[in-house]
């Protein structure tokens, strides 16, 4: 990801890795293994390793030991896969997390990991990533493991399993009446689910009482715990025997206030985390925390990597769940003697295996949409997916790393770094590339409506002939076929780079109207309202043209698959339904029957254009041409 922050983070990653490499037993506690994994190996059904990927890792708060721990293991797996990581720290601020995710979606990123941040709070951005076929894997980003809340996979332990382990441990290690204070953070779905499960399970215990459920933001634990402990001590006295918190970080700040109220006898148990600081104090038996029901962070870091690399290869996802670990002083002493490397070796071996016959699939890399909120790419991407599904081929769709102009997209087709693009056809383009001659817009982009400044409306209303219109200077994209079409008809046209900048040029009076395709103009009029740009209500021009999918000339397999699928979509009605869903409202708003239509020729239209197949083309029911 470009920018100083990304380069700085890459440097910090290298420094952290070096520091960890030179740690010796008994030193660098924060770089020690955070939680152990079950000794089970991954199922050997994964695809070949996908190297050279750029991954954005968005961590909710790097003060959280679990988040840092799972990242370190993911970083180790990423090194095996040859990936480059770009790290962002949300600092516990949902606004920062949102901004980091938005930036990552729009940059040169192949996949995203959302670590400890609530997916529900960024569901709209995750929906964009899904539309663009950009895989997002979460770690504790939703209440439960699995594909959920816009995530390809959420790597986590099941909240029921964690709660069951906590309650069983609490009951089995106490013979007296148990008075529990629960501490969670209601901003997170996983916290709410754990608290609900804990409350229900403790209610089934005849000698257990839930004294209080406290809502404490994890990011505010350092400030909140001392006054909370004093209040709870005064309120419940000796009835308070246990604290169960959904994260170890609360217990980083509980010892001093417990000593202050002389309650070192209270037993504290974390319902999920397993931070290095928690393991150190549990192992040393010098604090009131007696156990943590830990996440198997080392396994989960590699599960994150496996989920992403399966997505890159178009393979089925593996089980994203894992078993929680009950870690107290005794179990930590026993686990220190275990060999926990086999599962890592198994993942690495699987990723490096020889190719199999079922690895073969069509790679369909399409242009990265330009900006979030611009939905123009949604329809061609969705239609392409439907066509490939209808064709019955094995394929993998993914966006290019960069947004690009039309001319850049065709250049990338030449180099092979892009598989397909969609654009208006021309003789030159069809000579250099292979078109799929089914117009995905049904020729609708040949229907052009003027975007104008409000103060020029009267000038356009006075237009009666094509000659009148040609006297008014227009603007068009420098690499759009429309530029050549209009110039060939004798229009005065000023070129520009792209639609947003052309709109600004129109507002700045560099030219007087911007002929926009019927499907595009309504959104652009909203965007241009601040500059007093409006849709002209009386005129339209039309020339025959088509938006096709284009592939490289020698990519016959992909071209044939797209064509076959589109033909099936035409026959079963899917094509028309999708066309109407995408463009029906814009067609109605255009009110073509009430406009003067100027028909133009198209000297760039190839002779092979299937104009005789009427089913492929949009035709307004009643729109009379102007003189």
For the stretch 478-511, pLDDT in tens is: 988 899 999 999 999 999 988 889 999 999 999 9
Give the model's pLDDT for residue 142. Answer: 92
Instruction: Using the predicted structure, report yes or no on whether residue 106 has a pLDDT greater than 50.
Output: yes
Q: Are residues 136 and 211 in the same domain?
A: no
Give the model's pLDDT for residue 355. Answer: 64
Q: Is residue 84 situated within a structural domain?
A: yes
Q: Is residue 266 situated within a structural domain?
A: yes
Q: Is residue 325 situated within a structural domain?
A: no
Q: Is residue 260 situated within a structural domain?
A: yes
Instruction: Using the predicted structure, report yes or no on whether residue 91 has a pLDDT greater than 90.
Output: yes
Confidence of residue 428 (pLDDT cuts 50, 70, 90): very high
- What's the rounded mean pLDDT across residues 453-464? 94
Give the model's pLDDT for residue 589. Answer: 93
How many domains does the structure of the chain reveal? 3
Strand pairing partners for 58?
Answer: 88, 114
Confidence of residue 336 (pLDDT cuts 50, 70, 90): low
pLDDT digits (tens, 9 = 90+) for 317-329: 888 988 999 999 9
Q: Are residues 76 and 92 in the same domain?
A: yes
Give the model's pLDDT for residue 49. Answer: 62
Give the model's pLDDT for residue 338. Answer: 56
Give the model's pLDDT for residue 337. Answer: 53
Contact yes or no for 110/84 (Cβ under 8 A): no
Q: Which of 62-66, 228-232, 371-375, 417-421 has the lowest mean pLDDT?
A: 371-375
Cα dihedral 302, 304, 308, 309, rounded to 10, equals 10
Q: Is residue 526 situated within a structural domain?
A: no
Cα dihedral 481, 484, 488, 492, rounded to 10, equals 120
pLDDT digits (tens, 9 = 90+) for 554-604: 999 999 999 999 999 999 999 999 999 999 999 999 999 999 999 999 999
Q: Examine the fold and report which residue of 294, 328, 351 is the final residue of a domain before the chain moves on.
A: 294
pLDDT digits (tens, 9 = 90+) for 34-89: 334 443 445 445 555 678 899 999 999 998 888 999 999 999 999 999 999 999 99
Tokens of 39: 């000794």
What CATH number is attached to the domain comprising 554? 3.40.190.10
Q: Are residues 142 and 234 in the same domain?
A: no
Query: CA-to-CA distance for 247 and 185, rounded, in angstroms?
Result: 9
Domain limits for position 274: 159-294
Q: What are phi and psi of 549, to 5 degrees?
A: -80, 135
Higher pLDDT, 3 or 445: 445
Confidence of residue 388 (pLDDT cuts 50, 70, 90): very high
Q: Are residues 240 and 265 in the same domain?
A: yes
**In the predicted model, what is the mean pLDDT of the chain?**
87
Four-residue CA torsion sign, 571, 572, 578, 583: positive
pLDDT digits (tens, 9 = 90+) for 391-408: 999 888 988 888 887 888
Tokens of 370: 């330009």
Q: Is residue 231 situated within a structural domain?
A: yes
- What's the rounded mean pLDDT across residues 330-341? 71
Q: Are residues 140 and 21 in the same domain?
A: yes
Instruction: Using the predicted structure, report yes or no on whether residue 341 has a pLDDT greater than 80.
Output: no
Measured CA distances, 265 to 81, 195, 229, 290 (Å): 48, 23, 13, 11
Give the model's pLDDT for residue 3. Answer: 46
Q: Are residues 95 and 223 in the same domain?
A: no
- What's the rounded mean pLDDT across residues 265-280? 89
Q: Are residues 432 and 562 in the same domain?
A: yes
Give the model's pLDDT for residue 276. Answer: 83
Q: Are residues 111 and 191 in the same domain?
A: no
Instruction: Using the predicted structure, report yes or no on whether residue 124 has a pLDDT greater than 70.
Output: yes
Instruction: Using the predicted structure, report yes or no on whether residue 514 has a pLDDT greater than 80.
Output: yes
Contact yes or no for 139/59 (Cβ under 8 A): no
Which of 9-18, 241-250, 322-331 is modeled with the greatest confidence? 241-250
Contact yes or no for 150/136 (Cβ under 8 A): yes
Contacts 24+ apart (CB under 8 A), 3-6: 5/88, 6/86
End-to-end CA distance of the chain: 54
Give the model's pLDDT for residue 525. Answer: 81
Contact yes or no for 101/95 (Cβ under 8 A): no
Give the model's pLDDT for residue 601. Answer: 93
Q: Are residues 426 and 575 in the same domain?
A: yes
Burial of 372 per CB tally in 10 Å (0-12, 13-18, 19+): middle
Query: CA-to-CA distance for 221 and 245, rounded, in angstroms?
Result: 11
pLDDT digits (tens, 9 = 90+) for 280-315: 999 998 889 999 998 888 899 999 999 999 898 888
Give the model's pLDDT for residue 114. Answer: 97
What CATH number is attached to the domain comprising 277? 3.40.50.2300
Contact yes or no for 132/368 (Cβ under 8 A): yes
Helix (H, G, I), strand (E, B) or coil at 122: helix
For the chain, what percent of residues have pLDDT higher than 90? 68
Give the model's pLDDT for residue 518. Answer: 94
Q: Are residues 255 and 401 in the same domain?
A: no
The full DSSP string for 530-587 is GGTEEE-SSEEEE----EEEEEETT-HHHHHHHHHHHHHHHHHTHHHHHHHHHHHHHH
Query: CA-to-CA distance for 379 and 619, rounded, in angstroms?
Result: 20
Four-residue CA torsion sign, 171, 173, 177, 178: negative
pTM for the model stands at 0.73
Instruction: Using the predicted structure, report yes or no on whether residue 27 has a pLDDT greater than 60.
Output: no
Q: Which of 138-147, 230-239, 464-473, 613-622 has the lowest mean pLDDT?
A: 613-622
Q: Are residues 315 and 380 in the same domain?
A: no
Q: Is residue 501 situated within a structural domain?
A: no
Q: Which of 148-162, 191-205, 395-409 has the lowest mean pLDDT?
A: 395-409
Q: Are residues 11 and 105 in the same domain?
A: yes
Give the model's pLDDT for residue 489. Answer: 92
pLDDT digits (tens, 9 = 90+) for 350-383: 887 766 666 678 889 999 887 776 678 899 999 9
Q: Write the CB contacts of 51 (distance below 8 Å, at least 6 apart in sequence).
A: 81, 82, 83
Contact yes or no for 314/364 (Cβ under 8 A): no
**Helix, strand, coil percentages for the chain (3-state, nearest 5):** 45, 20, 35
Q: Is residue 510 situated within a structural domain?
A: no
Contact yes or no for 436/548 (Cβ under 8 A): yes
Confidence of residue 622 (pLDDT cuts 50, 70, 90): very low
């Amino acid at each position: 990801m470009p920018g100083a922050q990304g380069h700085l983070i890459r440097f910090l990653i290298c420094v952290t890795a070096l520091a960890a490499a030179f740690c010796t037993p008994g030193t660098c506690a924060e770089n020690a293994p955070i939680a152990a994994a079950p000794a089970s190996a991954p199922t050997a059904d994964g695809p070949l390793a996908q190297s050279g990927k750029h991954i954005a890792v968005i961590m909710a708060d790097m003060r959280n030991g679990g988040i840092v721990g799972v990242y370190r293991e993911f970083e180790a797996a990423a090194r095996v896969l040859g990936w480059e990581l770009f790290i962002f720290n949300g600092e516990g601020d949902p606004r920062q997390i949102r901004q980091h995710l938005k930036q990552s979606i729009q940059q040169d990123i192949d996949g995203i990991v959302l670590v400890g941040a609530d997916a529900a709070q960024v569901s709209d951005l995750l929906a964009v990533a899904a539309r663009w076929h950009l895989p997002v894997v979460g770690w504790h980003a939703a209440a439960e493991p699995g594909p959920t809340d816009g995530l390809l996979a959420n790597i986590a332990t099941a909240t029921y399993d964690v709660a069951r382990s906590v309650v069983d441990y609490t009951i089995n290690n106490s013979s007296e009446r148990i008075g529990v204070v629960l501490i969670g953070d209601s901003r997170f779905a996983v916290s709410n689910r754990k608290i609900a499960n804990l409350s229900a399970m403790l209610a089934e215990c005849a000698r257990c009482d839930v004294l209080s459920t406290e809502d404490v933001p994890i990011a505010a634990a350092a400030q909140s715990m001392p006054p909370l402990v004093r209040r709870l001590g005064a309120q419940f006295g000796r009835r308070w025997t246990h604290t169960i918190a959904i994260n170890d970080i609360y217990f980083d700040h509980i010892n001093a206030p417990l000593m202050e109220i002389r309650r070192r006898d209270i037993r504290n148990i974390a319902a999920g985390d397993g931070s290095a600081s928690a393991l150190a104090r549990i192992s040393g038996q010098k604090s009131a925390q007696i156990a943590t029901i830990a996440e198997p962070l080392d396994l989960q870091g590699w599960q994150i990597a496996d989920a992403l690399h399966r997505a890159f290869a178009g393979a089925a996802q593996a089980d994203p769940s894992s078993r929680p670990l009950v870690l107290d002083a005794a179990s930590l002493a026993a686990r220190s003697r275990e060999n926990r490397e086999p599962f890592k070796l198994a993942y690495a071996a699987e990723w490096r295996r020889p190719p199999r016959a079922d690895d073969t699939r069509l790679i369909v890399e399409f242009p990265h949409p330009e900006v979030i909120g611009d939905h123009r790419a949604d329809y061609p991407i969705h239609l392409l997916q439907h066509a490939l599904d209808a064709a019955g081929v094995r394929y993998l769709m993914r966006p290019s790393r960069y947004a690009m102009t039309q001319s850049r997209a065709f250049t990338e087709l030449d180099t092979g770094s892009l598989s397909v693009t969609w654009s208006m056809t021309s003789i030159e383009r069809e000579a250099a590339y292979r078109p799929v001659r089914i117009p995905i817009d049904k020729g609708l982009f040949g229907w052009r409506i003027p975007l104008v400044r409000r103060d020029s409306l009267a000038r356009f209303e006075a237009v009666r002939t094509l000659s009148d219109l040609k006297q008014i200077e227009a603007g068009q994209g420098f690499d759009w076929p429309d530029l050549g079409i209009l110039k060939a008809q004798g229009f005065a046209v000023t070129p520009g780079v792209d639609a947003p900048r052309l709109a600004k040029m129109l507002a700045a009076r560099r030219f007087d109207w911007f002929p926009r395709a019927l499907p595009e103009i309504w959104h652009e009029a909203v965007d241009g309202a601040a500059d007093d740009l409006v849709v002209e209500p009386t005129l339209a021009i039309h020339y025959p043209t088509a938006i096709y999918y284009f592939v490289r000339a020698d990519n016959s397999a992909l071209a044939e698959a797209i064509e076959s699928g589109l033909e099936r979509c035409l026959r079963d009605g899917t094509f028309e339904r999708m066309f109407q869903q995408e463009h029906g409202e814009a067609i109605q708003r255009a009110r073509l029957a009430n406009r003067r239509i100027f028909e133009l020729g198209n000297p760039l239209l190839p002779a092979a254009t299937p104009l005789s197949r009427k089913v492929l083309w949009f035709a307004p029911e009643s729109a009379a041409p102007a003189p």
